[in-house]
Structure 1
Amino acid sequence: MKGHLEKVPQRIGASWRYRKIVEGSKSYGWHRHKEYELAIHRHFQGCCFVGHHQSNIQHNHMVLIGPDLPHAMFSNTDGQHTQCETHVIWFRKDWVQQLIACCHELDPLKRLLSNASHGIQFSTDTAERAAQLLAGVIDMPPHQQLTTLFSLFSLLLEDKQAQQLMSIVTTNIDDELANERIGKSEAFLMKNFANDISLNDLGNHLYISESSVRRLYQKHYNESFSQHLKKIRLNVACDLLMNTHLPINIIIQKVGYDNQANFNRQFKAYKQVTPTAYRAAMSKI
């Protein structure tokens, strides 16, 4: 689920890029960027995938996605909308870091951008205000375009209803060692989720005890190691059901299950539908 790297063309003489896209339907498979992406989806319904998180797109669905975080967006094909309107902003990590370093007033952005590595969804009210703010921005002089971006940053920081998409609890966000362990843990699980992984295996990989692994997951994910591993496996299964024609018994093996009844039970508890029904529903998107 890494997604292909999509290059964002830069505007000459500009530090960031904005596009308004209007299309009859939306179908963007797994991809990622080196830049931060802020997207506002309007006037249509569909599905939004950010990493291992899936949510429904409704009018004024707004997400902030960090660099190299795979994501995909699809509109429903139910005929209820005549056009899909998307406002997208991209800005480079090195540029915004330098900006924050020079302007202490922008320090609150540090935490927001750090959380974006796991995706953030904003309220529909913030999305509406952001869309209004961006109206006509392309025709503005460059200095006004930049101040509009700063105003947009302010809207994001003021949104008290913003939600982390991938359920990472951000306590101790400045704990570099803990964050490094989380990163190594995720990389290890994504590489080995199809195998029989134990707490001891992960502890040996991170050079910490099993009890330390338990505390790490409870603190940063607010769930157990086994719960987190199960979510990874089931979300990868969702990806395979949606994007391949592999038989379900093969998918089960690929995501680390050896019992179809157990897989079906856990999948239905997680997605409220059977694997077969999920594949059928996703094929219509």
Structure 2
Amino acid sequence: MKGHLEKVPQRIGASWRYRKVVEETKNYGWHRHKEYEIAIHRHFEGRCFIGHHEVEICHNNMVLVGPNLPHAIYADKVKPGARCETHIIWFRKEWIDQLIISCHELEPLKQILKDASQGVLFSPHVAENIVQTLDANHDLPAHQQLLGLFNVLGLLIDDKDRRILSNPIKISNEDAETITRVERAEAYLQQYYAQSVTANDLAKHLFISESSVRRLFQKHYNESYSQRLKKIRLNVACDLLMNTDLPINLIVEQVGYDNQSNFNRQFKTYKRVTPREYRNSTKHIRKR
């Protein structure tokens, strides 16, 4: 599952990036970053896929994901009266490597970052402490926020209960072939989601039958081909609503819909708010 490469917007005058996202539900397909990513998921239950490893999510689930490691996350159940909350920190490999060279006190971080190539799961109490640090620091000047990041890195080092999300099971030739097909299918949809692509189109691309395509999606994603395509389109729409000022009718066209009423209906079912409400609710995030 190679996943599409997401570009992390950089803050002027800052060496790292922090974002807090609060939304009605959470369904992000396979993606990756050039940066390290720390993600803390709160107030919902679901599934997180990191590489070929699946993690059950509960409150204060916290993972460290290495550069270019594909990952995906899906919410299954949100706490009553709450919304999905995610705290995300990104930092570049070159930057953290130089920081460790300059600050010998951070030497223990080297192994943690090495393990991040497989994903690292941290303790819920550490996640809670980090959230409190981030909430207290995000309105402070940039140099004081950096001190908060140092505190976060220290908490990572001190967590003795962290574990690596590795998969020691040898992959059979059949499994490896399936994984390759899933990666190619995902890449195909990421490239052509804005077009009228069908399961038959994908079957021809993969040189398999249409029924095999449908079984592939049901087995790997536990959802149909059409559901997967819809999620990709709506996730791209969410990104455009959050990070651009494009009119909604143009976003509808760019993500492959030819009927705005249908788009609005599917978007509200997926995110539990209208596209306009989603854009308004995420305006504060764009400032981060």
Alignment map for 1:1-285 (pairs within 5 Å): 1-76=1-76, 80=80, 82-167=82-167, 221=168, 223=169, 225=170, 227=171, 232=176, 250=212, 275=219, 278-279=222-223
CA distance in 1, matches of 2:81, 2:179: 28
User: What TM-score comes out, normalization by structure 1 length?
Assistant: 0.63
Query: 2:146 is paired with a residue of what secondary structure?
Result: helix
Q: Deviations over 1:151-204 (max 9, x none)?
A: 11111111111111124xxxxxxxxxxxxxxxxxxxxxxxxxxxxxxxxxxxxx
Gap regions ≥5 residues in structure 1: 168-220, 255-273
Gap regions ≥5 residues in structure 2: 190-197, 204-208, 229-269, 271-288
Alpha carbons of structure 1 residues 166 and 252: separation in structure 2 relative to 1, 3 Å:
farther
User: What TM-score comes out, normalization by structure 2 length?
Assistant: 0.63
- Counterpart amino acid of residue 28 in structure 1: Y
Greater RCO, 1 or 2 (C-alpha within 8 Å, sep 6+): 2
Report the alpha carbon displacement of residue 110 of structure 1 after superposing the two structures with TM. 0.7
Query: 2:121 is paired with a residue of what secondary structure?
Result: strand
Two-structure CA RMSD over aligned residues (Å): 3.4
Check conservation: 1:52, 1:232, Cα contact below 8 A.
no
Check conservation: 1:44, 1:81, Cα contact below 8 A.
no
CA distance in 2, matches of 1:228, 1:278: 21
Check conservation: 1:47, 1:74, Cα contact below 8 A.
yes
Number of aligned pairs? 209
Alpha carbons of structure 1 residues 149 and 47: separation in structure 2 relative to 1, 3 Å:
same
Report the alpha carbon displacement of residue 122 of structure 1 after superposing the two structures with TM. 0.7
Report the alpha carbon displacement of residue 140 of structure 1 after superposing the two structures with TM. 1.1
Report the alpha carbon displacement of residue 123 of structure 1 after superposing the two structures with TM. 1.1
Check conservation: 2:44, 2:77, Cα contact below 8 A.
no
Check conservation: 2:64, 2:116, Cα contact below 8 A.
yes
CA distance in 1, matches of 2:108, 2:223: 42
CA distance in 1, matches of 2:139, 2:28: 28
CA distance in 2, matches of 1:44, 1:101: 38
